[in-house]
Amino acid sequence: MFTSAFLYFLIVVPGTCGEMCMSRAMKIVGEVTDFRPHAIARVIFRVMTVPWFWIGITLMAAGFFSLLGMLSMAKVSFVFPATALSYAVGTLGGKLFLGERVTPQRWVGVLLVCLGVILVALGKG
């Protein structure tokens, strides 16, 4: 039980935290309103000067390699609930760490997505 929880932690937390860091980095850069290629290139160069971006990239890479490692060791059926869990953990993280207002309506939507992801994984198996 403890081992499973730890393995799920390794798959879900680094990737989700990485995406949250990326969100924070982009909020620092500010809302993009100009979508011409040179303006987008400027935004990309600007976000690369924000430390949150590099922390995010590192954590996302760690999450990706944890998932690959886990897939080589555990059955896919063990790993797939982690994908569903990451939607709930990410939403909670958005509320707690990014200060987003997650309404009950948004929670209902996230719950439906989580259940759907589990069914999709079972349907592929």
Residue type, 22: M
Instruction: Figure out which of the listed residues 3, 35, 36, 45 binds other proteins, where binding follows CB under 8 A.
Output: 35
Binding range to other proteins, per CB under 8 A, among 3-11, 67-75, 92-100: 92-100
Task: Tell me the CB-side half-sphere exposure of residue 117, using CA atoms within 13 A.
Answer: 17
Nearer to other proteins, 1 or 123 (CB): 123
CB atoms inside a 10 Å sphere around CB 54: 14
Residue type, 35: F
d(CA 13, CA 2): 16
CA terminus-to-terminus distance, the chain: 23
79 binds other proteins (CB under 8 A): no
Binding range to other proteins, per CB under 8 A, among 6-14, 69-77, 104-112: 104-112
Give the footprint of other proteins on this chain (CB under 8 A). Answer: 19-20, 22-23, 26-27, 29-32, 35, 40, 43-44, 47, 87, 90-91, 93-95, 98-103, 105-106, 108-124
